[in-house]
A and B are shown apart, each in its own frame.
Chain A
């Protein structure tokens, strides 16, 4: 397994005038054997980041590197594989699940070898390999998602991207799929980009957490650090929004409705400034937020001029250091065995 690095990646859709920059200069590293949880609201660009990594969306600028080499999106061998959100759409209803998995096995093996590999993969995801001849419509959602995971593994990937793989499943099944993800990661040492809107789910599986807002990565770091010591106000907002958070409840109770930002017309400066609780709308002297785009910086990485400052003390304002790369952050040991 190996390291996947997004280096200043941008993705644009549509023409120059009415286009949309879904991902705007995002940098992120999935360390070798680590699981990076990517959270953010709908429209933040997290799924687009996944799709560009596997070649389903066009890379506008920047680089996507696998162990230092640009990721190839040509030929039959694709080192980055993806598991999709909706298992009801990601398996061809006209193919048996065995055929679907076999199709993803890189060429060069005999028929018997392929069959053996399909059996092995199905066992790996705890699916009875005798049922490889079943069609998707005979399976439940959770079973389909297991098969989809097996298919992604069939490509012998170096990195797997999981895009909201539990959100289309019933709650009783989610747990089983998350257990599977953790087990595979542990046994195979998979590098993984795990995308979810649910911070609790991400917390459960990820060693690192990245937070995305309007096409930008606004915070990135070891999971424990980001969760216990969030630097970016948006991350703090997300944490406070978790059901049961008392602080969040009082905060939200006072809030008037906040207009979500328009990704077609992102605000100048820091993209979060119009709704930031510690930004220029609350603290007028923080004009820099309106004008200057912050870079990923601070303890772990947070893109905020006033990271971790609830009051305008201003002492920790950065002196514009060279932009740090996520790659420089060391993969920390995970809090669980």
Chain B
């Protein structure tokens, strides 16, 4: 029912299941229990004066010795726990309360007053907490009360800053904007939307803060500015012990260790919770899986996709790239996950091949695998993977470094993040020539300028001396292509090269790729989620779904000749400039298959109007149906209603939801 609440509980429980989280949690609980029961049980022993054993060392009677009045130090350390914890928690409450007030104020007060508030907090934060604590200790006087106020107030700016950051992070989310557009008041936005969403991190920070307060308190008491006799906390005991550290070191070390243990307990508990909450999602992908899961054992053997006969004949002398039965595997929490499952295709000299598919279809990973850029823990298997006739699977990676460095160029999706921000563009291009073509620094730089000119970057000489952030997105993507043609590439792999660009710039970049291809007979693999882009640029299109090629056909047949129901729906779901405005667009019900949850039969069956029992049981192989046309479907080319009624779709959505 309440998935939010359930997830929260789950996540906190998961924290306790890690060894670190468990021990930190247990330690925290132990400290808290000791704080409660310590004074009840041992106050008498701790305050009993034993004049026979003044300043005694450890003995069977007094485990860690006695103090100047002969009082047992072990019990004093245990009893001191309550006061130490009490004061620390009190100070934390003060700090959190003030911090929350200051931190949420900008949201309530509006932009101008809020900015002033933020500036004030920024100034206060610049002073270290200890200095603030000393300042307040002077004002409030030496003693426990003064110290609590001092540490609480000193901690407030830090909390205020953290709150401000957390609040600002939530406030910029669209759901807050949506609430404001709906006319929801600021106070309600704060209590209904912002606070619930920052409560978790805030609790974590407060826990860590309590550990910090405990240690700060020990510091103040140690300086003689905190708890005054006859009261005692750990810091006080520490200060008393330190004066005699030469004769009686344990008296100083025991309270010190107690403070550290308690402080660490809070701190580590907070840290492990923070880690558990933050890393929850990514754990799944990195954790190495041990045994094969149920799904894994049920997984059918991959079909070796059939290479078209024409292609088989052609491959050999003319193919730039030849890929057979390529798979990429990652370890998952419940057995290996295979996002690419047996892909077979070839690319000929000068050919432009498009790969389309939704996110998660494995198209980008296929490209990375072909380029030998899949890193551990990912593993690439293939029956054959050859570039220009060289088998890339044989020999160490460094053997192929020069071939890959000069013959294969990569263009990545996001030109904003794909250049090293701390190096000049020219130097980044020149690297290729220096390492693979043995040029001097000067020669390589000249070649970089020449290549920038070739991709029509204006004022190339000056531009080469600039940093990436001085380039616009389109210009960077040109420079990226320029980097690719530093060598003499036979194949350019462009992974969503224009997705981050505006339409007019997109067209220029595609045209540039096209002209490079025509000028030197370079083959191109263009990966895109946009069928219209691929159709406009490529000769041939590979449609991927759930890690497999489901159709391979000439680009000009996409609109009319596609045989796979997925391809047909994909083409009809995206409007172009000729779409009939009177007709609804095609709809593909449900959602794409997760790589970890690939079903036994055809992966598309759950969303396919043509699916039947056979489809769900057995995965169709990719077979040649016509010249240059391969399809993996039991019902290839059968007619179906591509724009089914919305109501049906809703029903389907509901049913797939139940399944997932």
Contact = CB atoms under 8 A, between A and B. Distances in A.
Q: Do A and B have CB atoms closer than 8 angstroms in the complex?
A: yes
A198 B501 CA distance: 12
A242 interface: yes
B178 A84 contact: yes
Contacts of B7: 137
Interface string A99-137: 010011010000000000000000000111001011101
Contacts of A242: 503, 532, 576-577
Contacts of A264: none
B116 to A, nearest CB: 15
Contact of B581 (A86, A197, A336): A336
B182 A241 contact: no
B122 interface: no
A86 to B, nearest CB: 6
Nearest to B359: A170
A314 interface: no
Interface residues of B, number: 76
A199 interface: yes
Is chain B's binding surface mostly helix, strand, loop or mixed?
A: helix
A78 B184 CA distance: 10
Contacts of B358: 170-172
Given A91-B175, A243-B535, A128 B654 contact: yes
Contact of A336 (B2, B506, B530, B582): B582
A152 B175 CA distance: 12
A59 interface: no
A97 B505 CA distance: 39
A106 B183 CA distance: 8
Given A151-B178, A175-B586, A238-B503, A243 B646 contact: no
A86 B580 CA distance: 27
Given A134-B3, A170-B359, A241 B581 contact: no
Contacts of B458: 256-257, 259
Interface stretch (B136-144, B256-264, B470-478): B470-478
Interface in A130-186: 131, 133-135, 137-138, 140, 142-143, 148, 151-152, 154-155, 170-176, 178-180, 182-183
Given A82-B181, A170-B358, A89 B175 contact: yes
A90 B535 contact: no
Contact of B576 (A77, A174, A244, A258): A244
Interface string B514-535: 1100000000000001111101
A75 B183 contact: yes
B639 interface: no
A133 B177 CA distance: 22
Contacts of B657: 131, 138
Nearest to B581: A336
A197 B175 CA distance: 22
B532 A104 contact: no
Contacts of B580: 336
A282 interface: no
A252 B456 CA distance: 12
B577 A200 contact: yes
A21 to B, nearest CB: 18
Interface in A167-221: 170-176, 178-180, 182-183, 197-201, 203-204
A239 to B, nearest CB: 8
Contacts of B192: 92, 95, 103
B472 A260 contact: yes
Interface in B408-447: none
B173 A203 contact: no
A18 interface: no
Nearest to B500: A42
A173 B181 contact: no
Contacts of B654: 128, 131
Contacts of A336: 580-582
A2 interface: no
Contacts of B23: none
A140 to B, nearest CB: 5
B234 to A, nearest CB: 39
A81 B181 contact: yes
Contact of A335 (B503, B529, B581, B649): B581
B295 interface: no
Given A256-B458, A257-B508, A200 B183 contact: no
Contact of A203 (B510, B573, B575): B575
Contacts of A91: 175, 178
A256 B456 contact: yes
B228 interface: no
Nearest to B654: A128
A94 B183 contact: no
A241 B503 contact: yes
B30 interface: no
A78 B183 contact: yes
B174 A84 contact: yes
A172 B577 contact: no
A200 B578 CA distance: 8
Contact of B585 (A75, A178, A227, A259): A178
Contact of B4 (A80, A103, A135): A135
A324 interface: no
Contacts of A244: 532, 535-536, 576-577
A253 interface: yes
A103 B575 contact: no
B183 A77 contact: yes
B3 A137 contact: yes
Nearest to A180: B646
B269 to A, nearest CB: 24
A334 B508 CA distance: 33
Contacts of A95: 192-193
B511 interface: yes
Given A176-B649, A204-B579, A171 B531 contact: yes
A17 interface: no
B514 to A, nearest CB: 7
Contacts of B293: none
B165 interface: no
B507 A56 contact: no
A182 B582 CA distance: 10
B179 interface: yes
Contacts of B510: 243, 252
A203 B581 contact: yes
Nearest first, the 3 A-B pairs at minimum CB distance are A175-B585, A175-B573, A90-B174
Given A178-B585, A255-B456, 17 more contacts: A41-B505, A54-B181, A85-B174, A133-B1, A172-B592, A176-B649, A183-B646, A203-B575, A238-B504, A240-B507, A243-B536, A248-B507, A249-B507, A252-B504, A252-B511, A259-B472, A260-B472
Interface of B: 1-4, 7, 173-175, 177-184, 192-193, 196-197, 358-359, 455-458, 472, 474-475, 478, 502-508, 510-512, 514-515, 529-533, 535-537, 569-570, 572-577, 579-582, 584-588, 591-592, 646-647, 649-650, 653-654, 657
29 contacts: A56-B180, A76-B184, A77-B183, A78-B183, A80-B181, A81-B182, A86-B174, A90-B174, A91-B178, A92-B192, A94-B193, A94-B197, A100-B175, A127-B650, A128-B653, A140-B591, A151-B182, A170-B591, A175-B587, A176-B649, A199-B503, A200-B532, A243-B533, A252-B508, A253-B514, A257-B457, A334-B581, A335-B581, A336-B582
Interface of A: 41-42, 51, 54-56, 75-78, 80-82, 84-86, 89-95, 100, 103-104, 106, 126-128, 131, 133-135, 137-138, 140, 142-143, 148, 151-152, 154-155, 170-176, 178-180, 182-183, 197-201, 203-204, 227, 237-245, 248-249, 252-253, 255-260, 334-337
